[in-house]
Amino acid sequence: MNAVEITNHYIRQASELMGLGSRVERLLLSPEAEHHVSVPIELDNGDVAVFSGFRIQHNSARGPMKEGLRFHPSVDADDVRALASLMTWKTAVVNIPYGGAKGGIACDPAALSTGELERLTRKFTQRIGSEIGPQRDIPAPDVNTNAQVMAWMMDEYSRLHGYAPAVVTGKPLELQGSEGREAATGRGVVHVIEQALRDTGRSIAGATIAVQGFGNVGAYAALLAHHRGARIVAVSDASAAVMHADGLDVPRLFTDFAVPRRALAEYQDDGVVRLEHEELLTEDVDVLVLAALGEVLTEQVAKDLRARMVVEAANGPTVPEADAILAHRGIAVLPDILANAGGVTVSYFEWAQNIQSMRWTEEEVNRRLEQVMLDSYRTVRGLVEQRNLTWRTAAYIVGLGRVAKATVLRGV
Ligand code: NAD
**Mean predicted confidence (pLDDT) in 197-203:** 97
Query: Which pLDDT score is estimated for 63?
Result: 98
**Mean predicted confidence (pLDDT) in 379-401:** 97
Ligand 1: residues with CB < 6 A are 141-144, 185, 212-218, 236-238, 277, 291-293, 313-315, 340, 343
| Three-state secondary structure call for residue 204 | coil
Residue 65, CB half-sphere, CA atoms under 13 Å: how many? 27
The answer on pLDDT for 137 being more than 90 is yes
Q: How far is the CA of 236 from the centre of ligand 1 (A)?
A: 11
Q: What percent of the chain has pLDDT over 90?
A: 97
Are residues 168 and 203 in contact, defined by beta-carbon separation less than 8 angstroms? no
Among this protein's residues, is 66 annotated catalytic? no
The answer on pLDDT for 340 being more than 90 is yes
The confidence band for 162, taking pLDDT boundaries of 50, 70 and 90, is: very high
Q: How far is the CA of 230 from the centre of ligand 1 (A)?
A: 21
Which of 220, 237, 274 to probe ligand 1 with, by most ligand atoms within 8 A of CB? 237
Alpha carbon nearest to ligand 1 atom 5, residue = 215
Average pLDDT, the chain: 97
The answer on pLDDT for 1 being more than 90 is no
Ligand 1 atom with the smallest distance to the CA of 258 is 9
- Which run of H or E residues covers position 124? helix 114-128
How far is Cα 241 from Cα 226, in angstroms, rounded to an integer? 18
The confidence band for 283, taking pLDDT boundaries of 50, 70 and 90, is: very high
Alpha carbon nearest to ligand 1 atom 2, residue = 143
Q: How far is the CA of 29 from the centre of ligand 1 (A)?
A: 26
The confidence band for 412, taking pLDDT boundaries of 50, 70 and 90, is: confident
- Please pick, among 66, 90, 102, 123, the residue that the annotation labels catalytic: 102
Side chain identity at residue 119, one-letter code: R
Query: Which pLDDT score is estimated for 336?
Result: 97
Alpha carbon nearest to ligand 1 atom 34, residue = 315
Alpha carbon nearest to ligand 1 atom 36, residue = 314
CA-closest candidate to residue 199, choices 321, 347, 389, 382: 382
Are residues 339 and 188 in contact, defined by beta-carbon separation less than 8 angstroms? yes
Alpha carbon nearest to ligand 1 atom 17, residue = 238
**Mean predicted confidence (pLDDT) in 351-377:** 98
Q: What is the pTM of this model?
A: 0.96
